[in-house]
Amino acid sequence: MIAFADVRARYPRQQHLALGGVSLDAERGSVTAVVGPNGSGKSTLIRALIGRVPLAAGTISIDGADTRTWSREAIARRVAVVTQREETTFPMTVREYVALGRLPHRGTWGRDTMQDRAAVDAAIARTGMHALADRSVHQLSGGEWQRVRFARALAQGGDALVADEPTTFLDIAHEMAVFELMRSVAADGHAVLMVSHQLNLVARFADRLVLLHDGRVAAAGTVNDVMRPEILEQVYEWPVLVTRDAAIGALTLVPLRKPSTSSRS
């Protein structure tokens, strides 16, 4: 549904290409995960999608239509994005915050429609934030705040959900809840595109992996295609082991200690 074709992008006043020709597809009904070391261009990929980094070459298309011919609002009506970091400057309630997801559906003078309110209620219910709907967003814990951000993206509607490192700083339960949510959103027929550092969870939840290295695709395909020690060692520049977890059978990455540093394993 969202297709990047040979996308090259460069930040203003930089010689170096942040994306050096990336192609990938995020299909409806599946979770596509972009992984890779810090600085490999994962976030830039998402910033290019929302028009925050100009494309030097290549195209990003939604259902075959080049997004350069679309208005930003038209893109926002189709694709909801949960960015990596976000801070609200001024206090607002959870419900008001989630309702911001409806912005691309309203005109300059538009008011809340029944449809807007229904979408907001459904998003709050789905993320389990009902009890906190009238709380100020400044009073939420890190895990609650992330759920609320997903509620806003769900309220935005559209048929694609994009999330940039959505589980950074979250505890195990909140992290798993986010991955389960992504999976269930994909099961509803949405295209889910996520950036993550959690290779082991991605291996369990994603249908397709795209491994970026220095602004290029180092490997892409199924979990079995990408979770291979020789590829990962080269990209992450660290010795790793890939095993199959005895209890759940999932491919698991184990980063190794470097021999000289300590005797403990």
Alpha helix stretches (DSSP H) within 157-208: 172-187, 199-205
Tell me the window of 50-58, 117-125, 169-177, 191-199 that interacts with other proteins (CB under 8 A). 50-58
Using the minimum distance from each CB to other proteins, give the nearer residue, 117 or 228: 117
Alpha-carbon distance of 79 to 71, in angstroms, equals 12
Binding string, residues 222-241; x marks residues near other proteins by CB under 8 A: --------------------
Q: Which of 20, 104, 157, 166 touches other proteins (CB under 8 A)? A: 104
Q: Is 59 in the site for other proteins (CB under 8 A)?
A: no
Closest contact distance (angstroms) between CB of 4 and other proteins is: 17
Alpha-carbon distance of 240 to 253, in angstroms, equals 7
Q: Is 12 in the site for other proteins (CB under 8 A)?
A: yes
Report the DSSP pairing between strands 240-244 and 251-255: antiparallel
Q: Is 20 in the site for other proteins (CB under 8 A)?
A: no
Instruction: Give CA 7 to chain center in angstroms.
Output: 18
CA dist 102 to 105, 152, 190, Å?
Answer: 5, 8, 18
Q: Is 56 in the site for other proteins (CB under 8 A)?
A: no
Q: Which of 6, 29, 72, 256 touches other proteins (CB under 8 A)? A: 72
Alpha helix stretches (DSSP H) within the chain: 42-49, 72-78, 94-99, 114-126, 142-156, 172-187, 199-205, 223-226, 229-236
Provide the sign of the torsion angle of the four alpha carbons 187, 192, 194, 199, taken in this order. Answer: positive
The angle subtended at Cα 18 by Cα 194 and Cα 254, nearest 5°, is 50
Closest contact distance (angstroms) between CB of 190 and other proteins is: 15
Exposed, middle or buried, 110 (CB in 10 Å: 0-12/13-18/19+)? exposed
Q: Is 100 in the site for other proteins (CB under 8 A)?
A: yes
Q: Is 88 in the site for other proteins (CB under 8 A)?
A: yes
Closest contact distance (angstroms) between CB of 132 and other proteins is: 15
Q: Is 85 in the site for other proteins (CB under 8 A)?
A: yes
Total residues contacting other proteins by CB under 8 A comes to 41
Binding string, residues 133-162; x marks residues near other proteins by CB under 8 A: ---x-xx----------------x-----x
Closest CA to 136 of 174, 82, 97, 84: 97
List residues near other proteins by CB under 8 A: 12-13, 47, 50-52, 71-77, 79-93, 96, 100-101, 103-104, 106, 108, 110, 136, 138-139, 156, 162
